[in-house]
Amino acid sequence: MQRFAFPLFALVMLVLPALPVPDFWITQSNYIGLYAIVALGLVLLTGVAGLISFGQAAFIGIGAYTAAYMVTQTTGSAWTALVLGVLIAVVVALVLGSITLRMSGHYLPLATIAWGLALYYTMGNMEQLGKYDGILGVPTLHLFGYDLGTGRGLHVLVWVIALLAALAAVHLLDSRPGRAIRALKSGATMAEAMGISTFRAKLTVFVLAAVLAAVSGWLFAFFQRTVNPTPFSLSKGIEYLFMAVLGGVGNVWGAFLGAGVVKLLEDQLQVLLPKLIGTSGNFETIVFGIIIVLVLKYAPDGLWTFVSKWLPRPQRKRDWEQAAPLPARAKPTPGEPLLQVQAVRKQFGGLVAVNDVSFEIRAGEIMGLIGPNGAGKSTTFNLITGVLALTSGQVTYRGEQVGGMPSRAIARRGVSRTFQHVKMIPDMTVLENVALGGYMRGEAGPVRAMLRLDREEERRLFAEAERQLARIGMADRMHELAGNLALGPQRLMEIARALCTDPALLLLDEPAAGLRHKEKQALGAVLRQLKSEGMSLLLVEHDMDFVMGLTDRIVVMEFGTKLMEGTPAEVQASPAVRAAYLGTEH
Ligand SMILES: Nc1ncnc2c1ncn2[C@@H]1O[C@H](COP(=O)(O)OP(=O)(O)OP(=O)(O)O)[C@@H](O)[C@H]1O
């Protein structure tokens, strides 16, 4: 059914101008199309990537003013203005994004507010742009010698662009770069551990949203045929955000629903409210405020959830059977020194969480890292994988100094990991989550993805993801949503995702925590199987039976220091370990 929904919707919107509908309908539909293009950018930016921008209206202004200025004040064509407007928006987005996106928290929203205000006053004070009166007399658009006008002709162009943008967004979200963007919301740590530059992914989506807004602004100039600062103010920027949130920020089609509902409701309220209240004013803003509070409370994912409930979730077609395998790295020979941790230290203010700890892992062995709560095991893990910066000490992997490298650089060298608290994208399938691990082994970028020129690589990634799921015995669950899995299968899925990175060393942070007895046995079998295939493993684990039965050697930590290192038998026999770890006396 969903397969037919898009062509049907597209058909209706494209033939609408040819039907004997009132001109008013066409005008409304033009507005909805223009708004939806902007809201689409916000769905990607806010809904998918979790970044908030109040400055989208300013990017629309860039597109609109560039078009209006060029066609009225210069000999430049409307199409040159489109290219230039988009270019300016890209440059502004790159500058704003480069400054703010490396920083966490509220820097981006604040910067977009400043940007929205600055552009509004710049537009309103520039003589060349007609100050607050703006630029009047923008001619209509011509395409192939045909005058598109401001009604039915332009409607076709507006909706072709809106629908193509939606299709491109759908394609992007179902691709290698799209999965990277979708991973942003779950926090940077997991994405970076999969080799993703989260900064680049954020910048990509921020620029994309700016481009969509600028294109909408370009259309807006020829639709209104006059351009002034009011439609590009900060309050309009908030209204676009409102459309995306109301429609459903997590879904491409939510942008269309949000744009439609806001536009139609706004018109109705503007007529109705003055009659009810007896005086005119922008009362619809108050009603919108109330609506958004209600929607956020009762349908936090927006109104689209009420529509999507009725649409079956399409299952991915398994078309990767013939796909060529992904390139794999040369594996170390068994016994080769793989990881050397030399006197690593981590201080958090006055607390020494890891105190000059040293150990070595050789290729093909399973090493355990144990110790009481707070001993510094997870911190040691984070130092090895580059999540935390070393205070001092060295980490050498296959002869190369990796201490101090960002975690994605370490991941690229073949060190992969799972997390103490499972980190995944709940609304993606198990297969897609695991394919995220293959990110470093592909190269398709956003443009290739939007144009659907990445399908061969996607097939190879999915074939690899399925192979890794089969390796841990979960291939039959690949189409399930990851968020619907119980904790045990989620932990196994994380291992499959780590395996999909083609690692030579796998770091597992409490893989058996929360697992039932049978699940632990299955996990033990999987890890033994991996070892027999030459994989090297370092695991932090609290379950003593699990560790003792599985590992070749164990490092015991206590209060941030290394207490001892030895075989499971030696560790079990050590009175010092018993005292420290099991809380018994010597
Ligand atoms: N980001 C941080 N800032 C300040 N202190 C931290 C931070 N991370 C860890 N610590 C402290 O460092 C010490 C070691 O913590 P860590 O999580 O490495 O221990 P652990 O051995 O993994 O414990 P558990 O088994 O409970 O996970 C603890 O005292 C912890 O409170």
Mutation probe of ligand 1 site: the residue of 346, 347, 377, 538 with most atoms within 8 A of C-beta: 377
Nearest CA to ligand 1 atom 9: 379
Nearest CA to ligand 1 atom 7: 348
Quick one: which atom of ligand 1 is closest to the CA of 557? 21
State which of 501, 533, 558 marks the end of a domain.
501
Q: Does any domain span residue 240?
A: no
Rounded to two decimals, the pTM is 0.90
Q: What CATH number does the domain containing 379 carry? A: 3.40.50.300
pLDDT at 170: 93
Residues 136 and 8 in one domain: yes
Nearest CA to ligand 1 atom 8: 379
Residues 21 and 149 in one domain: yes
Q: Does any domain span residue 353?
A: yes
State which of 234, 254, 275 marks the end of a domain.
234
pLDDT at 309: 79
Residues 496 and 511 in one domain: no
Centroid of ligand 1 to alpha carbon of 379 (angstroms): 6
Quick one: which atom of ligand 1 is closest to the CA of 346? 12
Q: Which residue has the tokens 């551990």?
A: 193
Total domains present in the chain: 3
CB 191 within 8 A of CB 176: no
Residues 509 and 575 in one domain: yes
| CA dist., res. 101 & res. 51, Å (int) | 9
Centroid of ligand 1 to alpha carbon of 541 (angstroms): 15
pLDDT at 586: 41
Tell me which residue range forms the domain holding 449.
426-501
Q: Does any domain span residue 309?
A: no
Q: Does any domain span residue 136?
A: yes
| CA dist., res. 554 & res. 565, Å (int) | 6
Residues 536 and 447 in one domain: no
Residues 467 and 581 in one domain: no
Residues 406 and 433 in one domain: no
Quick one: which atom of ligand 1 is closest to the CA of 354? 14
pLDDT at 453: 95
| CA dist., res. 247 & res. 245, Å (int) | 6
| CA dist., res. 9 & res. 544, Å (int) | 59
CA-nearest of 517, 532, 518, 526 to 496 is 526
Q: Which residues pair with 344 in a beta bridge?
A: 357
ipTM of the complex: 0.95
Q: Assess whether the C-beta atom of 371 lies below 6 angstroms from ligand 1.
A: yes
CB 466 within 8 A of CB 475: yes
State which of 186, 215, 234 marks the end of a domain.
234
Residues 562 and 488 in one domain: no
Residues 200 and 71 in one domain: yes
Q: Does any domain span residue 281?
A: no
Q: Assess whether the C-beta atom of 348 lies below 6 angstroms from ligand 1.
A: yes
Q: Does any domain span residue 86?
A: yes
Helix axes 455-471, 176-183, angle to 10 degrees: 60
Centroid of ligand 1 to alpha carbon of 491 (angstroms): 21
Centroid of ligand 1 to alpha carbon of 135 (angstroms): 60
Q: Assess whether the C-beta atom of 374 lies below 6 angstroms from ligand 1.
A: yes
Two tokens, residue 141: 């658009």
Q: Does any domain span residue 230?
A: yes
CA-nearest of 273, 337, 307, 370 to 505 is 337
Residues 337 and 348 in one domain: yes
pLDDT at 579: 82
* Ranges in the chain, pLDDT < 50: 1, 585-586
Residues 516 and 387 in one domain: yes
Q: Assess whether the C-beta atom of 558 lies below 6 angstroms from ligand 1.
A: no
DSSP symbols for 26-92: HHHHHHHHHHHHHHHHHIIIIIIT----S-HHHHHHHHHHHHHHHHHHSS--HHHHHHHHHHHHHHH
Q: Does any domain span residue 398?
A: yes
Residues 365 and 407 in one domain: yes
Q: Assess whether the C-beta atom of 346 lies below 6 angstroms from ligand 1.
A: no
pLDDT at 353: 94
CA-nearest of 46, 31, 6, 521 to 314 is 6
pLDDT at 582: 59
